[in-house]
Amino acid sequence: MNKRLTTNRLILAVITTALEEIAIYTIWRWALPEFDIYLSVSALIGMMVGWGIFSVSLFILTSRILKKQVPVGLPSMIGTRGRITSSLSPEGMVRIKGELWAAKSNEDNLAVGDEVEVVGEDGLKLLVHKIGETKPIR
């Protein structure tokens, strides 16, 4: 995530938190007395501090989550292993990480259940080669 986006999110977070704090004060000052509810200044300060801590924690948590975004798609599949679900001669389907992918191999007639490794991509198909011994697919 780039620095400019983080800075813009921080500015937006500060502005919205300030507006929320103003709303808390407004409710305390004018809305609650209309219903004969009176809270002390220390209760107001406690609510505002609590809301501020919540807002900062939420900003930190979401920033960490946004930084951990995992790349998806064909380039991220290189090096992963899976099993053939329909024979590759030279094209077919493989199951990798529980998902079915169209695949292509330069090797002749790979059978269902053969373990393969992704070595590249060709358009929207994975390029795979056979590894290990044949085991039944589960």
Predicted local distance difference test score (pLDDT) of residue 133: 53
Domain 74-131 has CATH 3.40.50.1000: no
The rounded percent of the chain whose pLDDT value lies above 90 is 56
State the Cα–Cα distance between residues 31 and 24, nearest whole angstrom.
10
Q: What is the mean pLDDT of residues 82-101?
A: 89
4-47 per-position pLDDT tens digit? 888 899 999 999 999 999 999 999 999 999 999 999 999 999 99
The token pair at 121 is 């991509």
As a whole number of Å, the CA-based R_g of the chain is: 28
- Is 80 exceeded by the pLDDT of residue 134? no
Q: What is the mean pLDDT of residues 42-71?
A: 90
State the Cα–Cα distance between residues 11 and 125, nearest whole angstrom.
43
